[in-house]
Amino acid sequence: MKKITKILLIVSSLAMITAFVTPLWMIDLEAPQYPEGLGMQIWVNKISGDLNTINGLNHYIGMKKIEPDSIKELTIMPFVLGGLIALGVITGILGKKKLLWVFTVIFLIAGIAGGVDFYLWEYDYGHDLDPTAAIVVPGMSYQPPLFGSKQLLNFTAHSYPDTGGWVVIGAGLLTVLLLVYETKFNKTSAAKVKINETKLTSQDNRVLNNTLAQELKNEPSLA
C-alpha cells in the first residue's frame, strides 16, 4: 500500500473513536402539541433523549416500551466498533493490500448487518402492537423510517445519522475508495513495468544483433 493510503486509513479508523462519545443515530418527532419536538439519540451503548415521554405516548397506541437495558445490540456494538478501529489501524500499519481487502469486507458486512438489524428493530416496535391499547387505528403501523422522514398520525418522524454515525459512514466510504485506489494503482504500476520490460527486451535484442553483426564483420574471410 502507498504511504498516503496507510496514513488515511489509520486516521479514519482512529476518527471512529468519536462514535464512543457522540450519538450514532437520532430519531426526532414533530407534532403541533410539542412545538419544541421530541427526540431520542442512539449511542453505541445507550439511548438518551425524551425516552420517558416517547414511551408514554407509545403506550397509548400499543407500542412496547423502549428499554435500553433489554437491547442486546447496545452491549455488542462497543466491541464491534472497537474491533473495526483496531483492525483498521493494524491494516494501516502493516500496509498489506490483502489485509485491506479483509478490513473493507468486514466493515461492509458490519455496516449492512447493523442497518438490517436496526430496520428489524424498528419494524418490531412499529408493528407488534397491543390490540387492547387506548388508541387503535385499524391497519395502522408506527414504524419510524430507517432513513428520512415519515408521517405517523399527527407526528412527523425524522431518522438520520448523528455525529458519530456520520463519522463511521465517512470512514467506511473512505476505506472503499482507498481500496479502489490501491487496486487501480497496482494495475497501472504493473502495466508500466510490463511496458518497461518490453522496451528493455527490444533494446537488448538490438544490442545483441549489433554485437553479432560486428563479430561476423570482424571474422577473417575463408576465401
Note the pLDDT of residue 185.
Answer: 75
The structural domains of the chain, ordered by start, are 3-186 (1.20.140)
Per-residue CA distances from 23 to 45, 102, 115, 156, 214 (Å): 9, 27, 16, 21, 79
Model pTM score = 0.80
Note the pLDDT of residue 197.
Answer: 54
Tens-place pLDDT, residues 122-161: 999 999 999 898 888 888 889 999 999 999 988 999 999 9
Residues near 40 by Cβ (< 8 Å), separated by ≥ 6? 26, 27, 47, 48, 49, 50, 51, 54, 66
Sheet of 148-152, strands arranged across: 47-49, 34-42, 25-31, 155-161, 148-152
Note the pLDDT of residue 223.
Answer: 46
Res 39 pLDDT > 60: yes
Distance (Å, whole) CA 78 – CA 99: 22
Q: Angle at the Cα of 207 (from 203 to 210), degrees rounded to 5?
A: 140
Note the pLDDT of residue 129.
Answer: 92
Query: Cell match 479483509: residue?
Result: 102
Tens-place pLDDT, residues 88-124: 999 999 999 999 999 999 999 999 999 999 999 999 9
Helices marked H in the chain: 3-15, 51-60, 73-94, 97-127, 163-218
Note the pLDDT of residue 207.
Answer: 63
Amino acid occupying residue 148: G
When the pLDDT of each residue in the chain is averaged and rounded to a whole number, the result is 88
H/E segment holding residue 151: strand 148-152
Note the pLDDT of residue 215.
Answer: 63
Q: Are 29 and 54 in contact (CB under 8 A)?
A: yes
Tens-place pLDDT, residues 154-213: 899 999 999 999 999 999 999 999 999 999 877 655 555 555 555 556 565 666 566 656
